Structure 1
Amino acid sequence: MQFEGPKGEHLFRSTLVQTLFYGLFSAWVEVAQDGQAVFDWRAAGWNLHVPFVDTLFERIARPRSLKPLGLEEPLSWAAAALNRVDRIAFFTRFEEADAVRYFYEPFLAAFDPDLRKDMGVWYTPREIVRYMVERVDQVLRSELGIPDGLADPSVWVLDPCCGTGAYLVEVLARIARTLKEKGEDALTADDLKQAAMTRVAGFEIMPAPYVIAHWQVGHALRAAGAPLGPEERAAVYLTNALTGWAAPQAGAGPGDAQHGIRFTYPPLADERDEAARVKQARPILVVLGNPPYNAFAGTSPAEESGLVEPYKEGLQRDWGIRKFNLDDLYVRFFRIAERRIAGGTGRGIICFISNHSWLSSPSFVVMRQRLLAEFDRIWVDNLHGDRKSSERGRDGRTSETVFAMRGASLGIQQGTAISMLVRTPTRAATTQVLFNNRADASDAGERRGQLLAMLESSAFDEHYDQTSPVAQNRYSFRPASVAADYQSWPPLPYIAALEPFSGVVEKRHGALRSLDRSELADRMRRYFDPKISFEELKVLGIGPVEDMAGFKAYDARTRLLRSETFSEKNLRLLALYPFEVRWAYHTNVQQIWNRSRPELSARAFPGNGFVVARLRARRPEEGFPLFWTPVLPGDHILDPNAHPMPVLADPAKANLSVVARGWLAALALPNPDTDHAIAALPWHHALAIGYAPAWLAENGDAIRQDWPRVPLPDNADLLRASAALGARVAALLDPDTPVVGVTTGTLPPAIQIIAVPSKRGGGAMAEAERRLTAGWGHAGKSGAVMAGRGRISTRDYAPEEAAAAADAACLGATTHDVFLNQDAYWRNIPETVWRFTIGGYQVLKKWLSYREQPLLGRALTPAEVRYVRDVARRLTALRLMAPELDANYRACAATHRPLNGVPIAESVMTVKHDP
């Protein structure tokens, strides 16, 4: 075997040790169950019926081979540790096969966590495996007319990423049950063996789980009374499942090289050839399993290039999607399965558990469109558990990932879904997509139990809602949440006379920004000083002095010095993220800023303000899709596609379209150009609607797909009342606007107990205790700040926090203490306040991620500690406004006045981009 390159060498060493030590554990399990008193690894049989592995152990598991590798002593230590295990206690908890399968993930997490992450290795709970296999068996019978389901000899099954073999063993168990139900006890063993050796196949790229899979299948066959003979083997192959599906062209190299491995070792070459026969010649009818979740650079050899290109076709041209993430491994496995079933066998089933992003994310619109064209029925079981967005179960608690195993593994952090796609020989006129959102318990075990209980249902489809994937919703597979009249309401850009702008873009690694105005002014004065050479600036790191894509730093500074001098007026506040305002030196001199947006910056004048919206959401959990700022808006104030719309087009003219002006005139309101309070009414009204939780809950799917739409009331009094609420929202969203009863004046009890700066043992918070070291953020690649997990303590409200507890319907049933470090914390940040998300950003957590001490270089100031307190109180006040905002939304929706002469149902796609 030749392992080429750094990753190849690492993979060789890792998989060699994995295979030896996990093979050792597997051998111990078998010996222990057979009652042997002492386990001797040298005398243990490695009879796995895997020709290349048997040869490997014959060559390696000998003292003269192990000594140069330094493995003989560690193997002896491992065997001694296994001999100390309480076997009775161990096998009381774990069945023999379950033990071997269950421990691989924690073993790899401890031994090689980077490889575990790269390859997306996660233990798949047995309930999930059983549910998927049973559903495949049912659908084979009900949709493809195969009465014996998986037991039918014509049904060829492939798990293309079989890991430790859980799905293969469960398929064999389902076949055995069917044969037993048919009364064929005497023939079951031989039929089962033939199935395991021929038509129930698995591919695996990592040697250690591959060995375990062989052990598991062999163990299952022995338990069924059909042990493999000395020359027999299961149809489990060491191969890259993403390559080798087409016969190699003459003169081409081996198509199954992966991770820098070349198959010069004859048993491995035989393994590759056997796998190729499955890929190219077998009539595969079922593809199922749990594909890996992370992309790994070593899994894209030349033969695999272009695999997912059909899922990218037309993304930019037809859908305006320029950024996408379609190279995740699970997407490649979907493409392989689609190509094999739809383009190969012509009928069959795909059943995968995977990341659920592809079900509705804009990036996957072409993928969904292709699958709709190729399959007749699609069932989706949403398994929830998105820990990255703190998804909640129906009891309000954070939803565990369905992969979580108490005491062993937290499981993957993405939300997941089981997808079943069936293609019949007689194609349906339209594809039916059914979506099950009911398995939503917070506890992972309870959610897995809900799935198994569904198997007993005689009317299985009643657990699902039928969805309507169409071009207008980008073929989303999720059920649409939208009010009946939503599409008749105008998108926000219809209110404006100016097309939506894009926010300013620095992209100079923060060289033009600072938290401190005077520091930035001093820095920029030196950057403008022609007596200071460019080379000196570069050494000092002052100003944008590093070349980047399309940016020549020396030329840009030269151009700047010729065009203008330093000006205090160019020191401007910049809204970087929600509640993240910094000082910036803004100039329109070409290329100093990546995108300076002169037409936008000209409208950031005193007395004006911006409602910031976005064209579409990046993810389902973006929170509120609008923001308000009176200062210069950045391009990422919402994530993504932040588009500011000013209240005033200029100091003497409102930014209102002809139809919006007609609406105001019909309500007998004054001229908005001469009365700025009238000019602000539609925009403040939009904020009142946009921060109504009911509006977001009822229309979330549609809101995330396009510009937000708002109903327009048909009477002036209701509009004024709605705008008054929106003005309160705007004040709460602007951290520089004092709000009586929230940040100034006498505070009500429900506010004054929120986010109180505290420390263990009481007393004053010294500078050392203001250091943010609880792990809220760290520097990632290219200096980007990555959010960390941080430290919070979740608890019930204390008696002295009864005022907050009384508002639990708005604030949540629990509260948090959010820590700066080991001793200092903000006491009592209610659940919904902590999770408050605007435009994809969890507000408080985002702010903290940039202030971790190694990033900030100092402790927080007392003002910054109070700033977090005040932002939490502003968000609390917004949450407490929910009943008013919801009532206002419903009143406005009930009295909506259409804008005359405007085709509201059509999407607004135009966005103004300054050159």
Structure 2
Amino acid sequence: MTQIQHYLDKISQRHQSGKATEHSYRGDLQNLLESLLPDIAITNEPSRISCGAPDYILSRHDLDIGWIEAKDIGKALNSKDYKEQFDRYRAALDNLIITDYLQFDFYRSGEKVASIHLARLDDKKIHALPEHFAQFIDLIKDFATYSGQTINTASQLSKMMAGKARLLANVIENALNSDEENAANSSLKDQLHAFKSVLLHEITPAEFADIYAQTIAYGMFAARLHDDTPNSFSRQKAAEKIPLSNPFLRKLFQYIAGFDLDDRIVWIVDALAAIFRAVNTQKVMQNHTYRVSTKTAKENRSPIASAIGESKKAEAFLLQITHDPIIHFYETFLAEYDPKLRKSRGVWYTPEPVVNFIVRAVDELLKTDFNLSQGLADTSKTTIEVDTPVLKGRGKTRTTTIEKRPKEVHQVQILDPATGTGTFLAAVVKHIYANEFETMQGAWSSYVEEHLIPRLNGFEILMASYAMAHLKMDLLLTETGYIPKKQPRFNIYLTNSLEKEHPDTGTLFTFARWLSDEANEANYIKRDTPVMVVMGNPPYSVSSSNKNDWIQDLISDYKKNLNEKNIQPLSDDYIKFIRYGSHFIEKNGAGILAYISNNSFIDGVIHRQMRKHLLDTFDSIYILDLHGSNKKKETAPDGSKDENVFDIMQGVSINIFVKTNSNPIASNRSPIASAIDESKKAK
């Protein structure tokens, strides 16, 4: 009890001097805590605090167990001035005290569980309340024994991850701003410059902070799912457990969360690791494994199957999956982490029936229009010429030149340029497995490594989506019985699809060669890979941030000879992605572009040059207008409300563009077109 009285005497003296600030009392509170909790390490680090860390971190055996944020005496803790900061802490830190040195509010998992006053402030004088001393000691000791709650659900885990990741991003951005203001050198600044020069050329400090935070959060998530000793889980251990199939995330994590981690963010990264020590992975992933089957559930029949008629063949191809843990986990995370980021990037989950229909349609078109009997499962190869570094000369005269050399690659190369969490690529895997290999399990693993992984390509700009796409492919292939022999990486890359390929600048950043490797692999696909199928759900964003000269030049084809004053909608990201996909098919000479997208281009007045360009480029075009626009006030044929397959106001359509360089009125007409005609949905 005397320790508390001594503490109050000290802060009373400082307060009476009239010169004290909230920082003046920090040492006094630290001394009190150390006297009451001799086995607990109390850390008060100014450099961390200036970047957004709470004032005190309590640790036991090098593991953080609690956090304390202290404010100045005399200002109410429920002041609006504190709300944003306190909300951020309450969402991220599950064992928290907020205090003004006299009042102590205790929070568990964001909820206030206790509040106690050691003294009151009257007439600018501090008056002790000794009747509360014993209870305070009990509360503070209970606070220090907190070991965390067991996390049993995906929703619970994703929300806790989001809270800590949001706080981490805030801390990183503050640290970068501080370095910039003080002209200070730091590993954070070096990493930002490397990302900007090598990988994402228009990245801002705030966007880099997002990538950094999401890398750590999802790197730990992937590592924890592959760790069977959770009690010893840490950021150092996580770096070893990230799957080899994602070398970029593995190396990036090892670099940014390793032994040289910036001291200003160590505390929150370790707090994130503590979450994963408390995760019961079996319960979190319970009922969330992939189940691939060709059986049809009559009572849950896809509306897309209905849209193409009562075709038993189409129905038989319907792939049923119990639940997609990755999609729903990521949706929950993003809603908690940054809803505005989802909107600005046009991130929307694509319903499984839509994805499955597009995959089946592409498969059928490959068989009927391109005479590829295996469709998406095709293993045929073609030879291309690629720029290859060649060493010439000897000794001091040895030089490297670039020459065109032949290279054999698979013919049916598939690209999702807006991969998200990998939904379309995963659907391709499920379709091939269910239709070709479900009864040929022995041949599956070799097929995956030799003929499947080399053909599946994806681009993604959001780190969380990128990490989850890799994780989804890992979980799905494991579920199908795939046993890796060579452990090849998945060809899903962190890149801005709408940027042109760039020359290698990795030699300028030897400390991060893996950044250059990621960029070069993405550049190879952009530059050399003969992509035959482009599919996906491109983002919709009228206020596009993709304004580089290369993509602007491409979409200029859609703006020729237009006299309207406002053609800004033609710069929507979805239109850029349609032009981008068309560019790949044109470059390849033949192929299929299959998207679900905003449907404004179908009948928009300013979209007429876009429609003309598409008609000039492709031999066959199939449009399934799914309607759903709030602006048009349409109704369904039966008079019911016109609803959207997404939770958005803009109508959408499934668009399949086919370039075969053959007669568009061929007798061997696609069964997809026939099915659409029969249902009288084509316009």
Residue of 615, 629, 652 corresponding to 1:372: 615
Match of 1:330?
Answer: 574
Q: How does 1:711-722 map to 2 (within 5 A)?
A: none
| 1:54 aligned onto 2:271 | no
Query: Given residue 15 of structure 1, which amino acid in structure 2 is its aligned partner?
Result: I
- Structure 2 Cα separation of the partners of residues 232 and 306 of structure 1: 36
Query: Given residue 344 of structure 1, which amino acid in structure 2 is its aligned partner?
Result: K
- CA 1:253/1:61 → structure 2, altered by over 3 Å: closer, same or farther? closer
- CA 1:424/1:7 → structure 2, altered by over 3 Å: closer, same or farther? closer
Alpha carbons 1:285, 1:347 under 8 Å: kept = yes
Query: Given residue 492 of structure 2, which amino acid in structure 1 is its aligned partner?
Result: V
Which structure has greater helix proportion?
2
Q: How does 1:871-890 map to 2 (within 5 A)?
A: none
| 1:346 aligned onto 2:589 | yes
| 1:421 aligned onto 2:662 | no
| 1:170 aligned onto 2:363 | no
Alpha carbons 1:384, 1:417 under 8 Å: kept = yes
- Structure 2 Cα separation of the partners of residues 79 and 38 of structure 1: 9
Which has the greater radius of gyration? Answer: 1
Give the 3-state SS of the residue equivalent to 1:418 in structure 2: strand
- Structure 2 Cα separation of the partners of residues 352 and 464 of structure 1: 21
Match of 1:100?
Answer: 326
Give the 3-state SS of the residue equivalent to 1:308 in structure 2: helix
TM-score normalized by the length of structure 1: 0.42
Match of 2:494?
Answer: 238
Shift of residue 63, structure 1, vs aligned partner: 6.9
Higher RCO (C-alpha under 8 Å, 6+ residues apart): 2
Match of 1:807?
Answer: none
Query: Given residue 349 of structure 1, which amino acid in structure 2 is its aligned partner?
Result: I
Q: How does 1:176-191 map to 2 (within 5 A)?
A: 176-180=433-437, 184-191=440-447
- CA 1:264/1:324 → structure 2, altered by over 3 Å: closer, same or farther? farther
Match of 1:271?
Answer: 518
Shift of residue 225, structure 1, vs aligned partner: 3.1
- Structure 2 Cα separation of the partners of residues 92 and 171 of structure 1: 17
Match of 1:220?
Answer: 476
- Structure 1 Cα separation of the partners of residues 509 and 205 of structure 2: 12
Shift of residue 239, structure 1, vs aligned partner: 1.7
- CA 1:146/1:433 → structure 2, altered by over 3 Å: closer, same or farther? closer
Shift of residue 321, structure 1, vs aligned partner: 6.2
Q: How does 1:345-494 map to 2 (within 5 A)?
A: 345-388=588-631, 391-393=634-636, 398-403=641-646, 411-428=647-664, 459=675, 461-465=677-681, 479=683
| 1:113 aligned onto 2:339 | yes
- Structure 1 Cα separation of the partners of residues 331 and 233 of structure 2: 25
Query: Given residue 422 of structure 1, which amino acid in structure 2 is its aligned partner?
Result: V
Q: After superposition, give the CA deviation of every residue in 1:225-251 in whole Å (9 maximum; x if it has no partner).
A: 334456520111222212335xx6xxx
- CA 1:228/1:305 → structure 2, altered by over 3 Å: closer, same or farther? farther
Give the 3-state SS of the residue equivalent to 1:68 in structure 2: coil
- CA 1:193/1:169 → structure 2, altered by over 3 Å: closer, same or farther? farther
Structure 2 segments unaligned to the other structure (5+ residues)? 1-190, 292-320, 380-410
- Structure 1 Cα separation of the partners of residues 489 and 620 of structure 2: 36
Shift of residue 113, structure 1, vs aligned partner: 2.0
- Structure 1 Cα separation of the partners of residues 427 and 533 of structure 2: 14
- CA 1:233/1:152 → structure 2, altered by over 3 Å: closer, same or farther? same
Give the 3-state SS of the residue equivalent to 1:381 in structure 2: strand
- Structure 2 Cα separation of the partners of residues 421 and 138 of structure 1: 13
| 1:308 aligned onto 2:555 | yes
Q: How does 1:594-605 map to 2 (within 5 A)?
A: none
Residue of 29, 40, 44 corresponding to 2:233: 40
Match of 1:151?
Answer: 377
- CA 1:38/1:415 → structure 2, altered by over 3 Å: closer, same or farther? farther
- Structure 1 Cα separation of the partners of residues 516 and 213 of structure 2: 22
Alpha carbons 2:627, 2:642 under 8 Å: kept = yes
Shift of residue 150, structure 1, vs aligned partner: 0.5
- Structure 2 Cα separation of the partners of residues 349 and 378 of structure 1: 10
Query: Given residue 421 of structure 2, which amino acid in structure 1 is its aligned partner?
Result: T
| 1:71 aligned onto 2:328 | no
Shift of residue 167, structure 1, vs aligned partner: 0.9
Alpha carbons 2:619, 2:660 under 8 Å: kept = yes
Shift of residue 368, structure 1, vs aligned partner: 0.4
- CA 1:99/1:232 → structure 2, altered by over 3 Å: closer, same or farther? same
Give the 3-state SS of the residue equivalent to 1:307 in structure 2: helix
Query: Given residue 367 of structure 1, which amino acid in structure 2 is its aligned partner?
Result: M
Alpha carbons 1:321, 1:362 under 8 Å: kept = no
Shift of residue 38, structure 1, vs aligned partner: 6.0
- Structure 1 Cα separation of the partners of residues 330 and 462 of structure 2: 12
Shift of residue 294, structure 1, vs aligned partner: 1.1
- Structure 1 Cα separation of the partners of residues 641 and 232 of structure 2: 44
- Structure 2 Cα separation of the partners of residues 130 and 287 of structure 1: 15
Alpha carbons 2:287, 2:323 under 8 Å: kept = no
Alpha carbons 1:321, 1:363 under 8 Å: kept = no
Query: Given residue 233 of structure 2, which amino acid in structure 1 is its aligned partner?
Result: D
Alpha carbons 2:544, 2:573 under 8 Å: kept = no
- Structure 2 Cα separation of the partners of residues 329 and 79 of structure 1: 36
Query: Given residue 110 of structure 1, which amino acid in structure 2 is its aligned partner?
Result: E
- Structure 2 Cα separation of the partners of residues 433 and 174 of structure 1: 23
Query: Given residue 169 of structure 1, which amino acid in structure 2 is its aligned partner?
Result: A
Query: Given residue 334 of structure 1, which amino acid in structure 2 is its aligned partner?
Result: I
Shift of residue 432, structure 1, vs aligned partner: 14
- CA 1:432/1:333 → structure 2, altered by over 3 Å: closer, same or farther? farther
Give the 3-state SS of the residue equivalent to 2:554 in structure 1: coil
Alpha carbons 1:286, 1:349 under 8 Å: kept = yes
- CA 1:97/1:78 → structure 2, altered by over 3 Å: closer, same or farther? farther
- Report the count of equivalent residues: 422
- Structure 1 Cα separation of the partners of residues 344 and 510 of structure 2: 22
- Structure 2 Cα separation of the partners of residues 63 and 74 of structure 1: 16
Give the 3-state SS of the residue equivalent to 2:325 in structure 1: helix
TM-score normalized by the length of structure 2: 0.55
- Structure 1 Cα separation of the partners of residues 327 and 575 of structure 2: 25
Q: After superposition, give the CA deviation of every residue in 1:453-502 in whole Å (9 maximum; x if it has no partner).
A: x99x9945412455xxxxxxxxxxxx4xxxxxxxxxxxxxxxxxxxxxxx
- Structure 2 Cα separation of the partners of residues 11 and 73 of structure 1: 22
Shift of residue 194, structure 1, vs aligned partner: 2.6
Residue of 406, 418, 421 corresponding to 1:161: 418
- Structure 2 Cα separation of the partners of residues 89 and 412 of structure 1: 30
Alpha carbons 2:504, 2:516 under 8 Å: kept = no
Give the 3-state SS of the residue equivalent to 1:305 in structure 2: helix
- Structure 1 Cα separation of the partners of residues 287 and 578 of structure 2: 38
Alpha carbons 2:532, 2:592 under 8 Å: kept = yes
Structural RMSD (CA): 3.7
Shift of residue 149, structure 1, vs aligned partner: 0.4
- Structure 1 Cα separation of the partners of residues 435 and 282 of structure 2: 38
- Structure 2 Cα separation of the partners of residues 432 and 335 of structure 1: 28
Give the 3-state SS of the residue equivalent to 2:535 in structure 1: strand
Alpha carbons 2:233, 2:276 under 8 Å: kept = yes
Query: Given residue 462 of structure 1, which amino acid in structure 2 is its aligned partner?
Result: E
Structure 1 segments unaligned to the other structure (5+ residues)? 404-410, 435-453, 467-478, 480-915
Alpha carbons 1:373, 1:431 under 8 Å: kept = no
- Structure 1 Cα separation of the partners of residues 509 and 350 of structure 2: 30
Shift of residue 61, structure 1, vs aligned partner: 3.1
Query: Given residue 649 of structure 2, which amino acid in structure 1 is its aligned partner?
Result: Q
